[in-house]
Amino acid sequence: MAEAPRPEQATVSAHHPDGSATVLRDDGVLVEVPARAVAAGGWRSLRPGQRVTLERAEGGRVDALRPPV
């Protein structure tokens, strides 16, 4: 049985006009988050510096941007 992907902690770097976002993971890697993943987390807007949690699908794509855990 495959292990479920672990949530990743990150800080919002930018929230783009198209609804997507750029976040900086705690390990220093910038990640582009598509608008559908931002919306899946229930966000209307994000602020630079805001803490979030990335949820990834088995293939590695970001499925949702959630409040920090």
d(CA 1, CA 12): 33
DSSP SS3 for 20: coil
pLDDT score of 49: 97
Residue 1 counted as domain residue: no
Q: Is the pLDDT of residue 66 over 70?
A: yes
Which residues in the chain belong to E strands, given as ranges?
8-15, 21-25, 30-33, 51-56, 62-66
Q: Please give the model's pTM, rounded to 2 decimal places.
A: 0.86
Residue 3 counted as domain residue: no
Residue 41 counted as domain residue: yes
What are residue 58's phi and psi, to 5 degrees?
A: -55, -35
Q: Is the pLDDT of residue 56 over 80?
A: yes
d(CA 65, CA 49): 14
Residue 39 counted as domain residue: yes
pLDDT in tens, 7-26: 799 999 999 999 999 999 99
pLDDT in tens, 23-53: 999 999 999 999 999 999 999 899 999 999 9
Residue-averaged pLDDT of the chain:
91
